[in-house]
A and B are shown apart, each in its own frame.
Chain A
Amino acid sequence: MRVIGLWLALLGVAGCSTTTTIDEYRSSDEQLQVASGDRVVLLGRRDAGHYETDAEFVECVGDKLRSSTLAVMPEQTFMDALYPWLEPRTAPKGLLRMRRLMQEPQVAKVIADQAIRYFVWLDGSTETLDKGGSISCAAGPGGAGCFGFAKWDKASIYEAIVWDLSDFTEVARVRVDSEGTSYLIGAVAPIPLLTPVKSDACKSLGKQLKALFVSDG
């Protein structure tokens, strides 16, 4: 029993950790100024065919970025305020299109009223890369149980692109690449040892984005 416990503890320590790599590009060495009252909005890219940048991840990064001095507008509220111009079909993919969209007086007014200075586009997903092992569960009138061992590798790859709406320029790009392996051990009861790959990607990206901005407020 002690051996199994030790084995589980080892797996817990060694197995449930993620490897996270962050690449950052900035157009300038200086931090991005956010004037008092100005806000940042995070938006998910949803035009790719085979994956979807989920709203939950966008919200998570927004929560990490938000602070007492940096105001972050919730994605859905902003999408509703600019409806239908930020839907998957209509969202501007480049700065040229964004500039043209801002020429619409109603769009420009909403962005000015909401005091949005920066758009942060988030694009990416969390995928299961590899699965191994097998676990089988059985249930009968006398009891139930699971036996075996399964593992799977997950990768979260996300990129954040920051647009400055004051001069329609791309000012920064941050890419986070997080990988980890989760385990499920069937020892009568299934024991999951889950690696929080997506959560780590969110934390790392949020922290890195936070370091980009400096608020006057």
Chain B
Amino acid sequence: MSKQMSPSRPLCWVFCALLLGGCGGMTRVQLESSFPTLLIEPRELRAAVIMSPEFSQYVATPNKNMTLEIGASQRSILEKTFGGLIDEVVFVDAAELIEQPQDIIIRPSVVEVQVAVPSENYLNVYEVWIKYNLAISDGDDNPIENWFMPVYGKTASAFMLQKDAAVGSATTIALRDIGAKLSLDFYRIPALQSYIDERRREAAR
């Protein structure tokens, strides 16, 4: 006796797969973004940027169902950005590895990562906020400023666009915003500006 499969059975499997895949599950975003070089004139300054292994391998968990592996990408964009903004800059994993005397030392860290999806914000966009702290100190490691830097990226939701891809795209835009934000504001940080001006005055004497 031959058993005939109901024609609607394949449809049933498609629905079951859609239900299981669509309603929940982990969103895991791995970024392998490459970033362009900044079109900016670097200023005369010597700086060391300390990006710890923890920062360079940072994995954000904005909620229990989502992980964003942004460590390598955020290191990459910060290298490009500070390389564009500062004349002489070195990137090290720890303070002990700084060999030459520096004008400033910068330690970036991630304070918070937030993600909003269309079901939460009631908009047709995926949004990503990353709040960084730049701990800036002088060459002797005396604190100058703790500067908080929020960056933001969003991407339009498209029909059938996968959540991972949409969040990944919004995260890449947020990381590109680091270059934009620092290009506009880095040399406008009041404490840093005063410190650089003071050093110039001292050098001129």
- Report A's interface with B, CB cutoff 8 A: 46, 50-54, 56, 80-85, 87-90, 104, 106-107, 110, 125, 127, 137, 139-145, 188-189
Contact = CB atoms under 8 A, between A and B. Distances in A.
B154 interface: yes
- What does DSSP make chain B's interface, helix, strand, loop or mixed? mixed
B40 A106 contact: yes
18 contacts: A51-B123, A51-B156, A52-B156, A80-B36, A83-B36, A84-B39, A84-B176, A89-B180, A89-B181, A90-B180, A90-B184, A107-B39, A137-B15, A141-B12, A142-B9, A143-B12, A144-B14, A188-B8
Given A51-B124, A143-B8, A56 B180 contact: no
A210 B68 CA distance: 42
Given A89-B184, A110-B39, A84 B179 contact: yes
B173 A88 contact: yes
B12 A87 contact: no
A88 B177 contact: yes
Interface string B4-24: 001111011011100100000
Contacts of A90: 180, 183-184
Interface in B146-180: 152, 154-156, 158, 173, 176-177, 179-180
B112 to A, nearest CB: 19
A48 to B, nearest CB: 10
Contacts of B6: 142-143
Contacts of B152: 88
Contact of B177 (A56, A85, A89, A125): A89
B99 interface: no
Q: Closest 8 A-B residue pairs measured CB to CB?
A: A143-B8, A144-B12, A54-B156, A87-B180, A80-B36, A52-B156, A84-B179, A84-B180
Contacts of B39: 81-85, 104, 106-107, 110
A84 B37 CA distance: 9
B38 interface: yes
Given A51-B123, A143-B12, A84 B173 contact: no
A83 B38 contact: yes
Nearest to A140: B12
Given A144-B15, A145-B11, A83 B176 contact: yes
A76 to B, nearest CB: 10
A84 B174 CA distance: 12
